[in-house]
Amino acid sequence: MNIDIQIYQHASLAPEIGVLAEFRVRFFREFPYLYVGTEDYEQNYLADYLANPTTRLIVARDAGKVIGIATGAMLSTELNIVGKVETLLQQHGIKPHSCFYLGEIILEPEYRSRGISKQVLELLKNAGREQGAERFCFLTVAREPNDIRCPADYISSDVIFEKYGFIKTDVSVTFEWPTIQADGQVENTANLLDFWIDRQ
């Protein structure tokens, strides 16, 4: 397996935004996100990534085919997150200006459990350290254990996150997005997300 992994920043980000948008629309439709979006909306939403000098985008390719993406940026620039939980973060001793936010790591199913995600994570963490980050964090969607929308073969990623040295805090944030309901309809509803931080 010869996977080519590239990291993009600043001007080099722009040509890759379409790839990121396509992955987000396709994979975030799955449980637990249940997000129904469009690539046009995503490209507009991701315009902030282009304008953020701390943003890093990783694209993994196999023989030219994109098989994974990942993003990260300094938490202090993620104002939609910090604005909601800054007080709680301060109570936990988490300083946004020295914390790197891991946006997402998404791999095609057939490339999972091959060590690629760990390699991508380390690249993101190194990108954060180069910008002065001392801590690393991310958000995960919280769903009830008995959620009927959960596929029978779904495996929670919590064990993987813990294996990689992260712990779930009692900090949470709520965001709205078009969400698949239990009856299959799509409604713009509030979704709870848990805040994870690396162990020190």
Q: Classify residue 86 by burial, with Cβ atoms within 10 Å: 0-12, 13-18, 19+.
A: middle
d(CA 172, CA 34): 18
Of 50-54, 65-69, 86-90, 125-129, the range with the lowest mean pLDDT is: 86-90
Structural domain count, the chain: 1
Range(s) of the domain holding residue 178: 3-198
pLDDT band at 168 (very low <50, low <70, confident <90, very high): very high
Q: Residue 143 corresponds to which tokens in the numbers above?
A: 């769903």
* C-alpha closest to that of 106 among 191, 21, 185: 21
> What percentage of the chain exceeds 90 in pLDDT?
77
Instruction: Please determine, for residue 1, whether its predicted confidence score (pLDDT) is greater than 80.
Output: no
Residue 61 φ/ψ, nearest 5 degrees: -130, 145
pLDDT tens digits, residue range 61-108?
999 999 999 999 999 999 889 988 888 888 888 899 999 999 999 999
Query: Does residue 27 contact residue 106 with C-beta atoms inside 8 Å?
Result: yes
Confidence band (pLDDT; 50, 70, 90) for 147? Answer: very high
Q: Concatenated DSSP letters for 82-130? A: HHHHHHHHHHTT--GGGEEEEEEEEE-GGGTTSSHHHHHHHHHHHHHHT
Q: Which of 107, 105, 97 is nearest to 124 (CA)?
A: 105
The CATH number for 97's domain is 3.40.630.30
Average pLDDT, the chain: 93
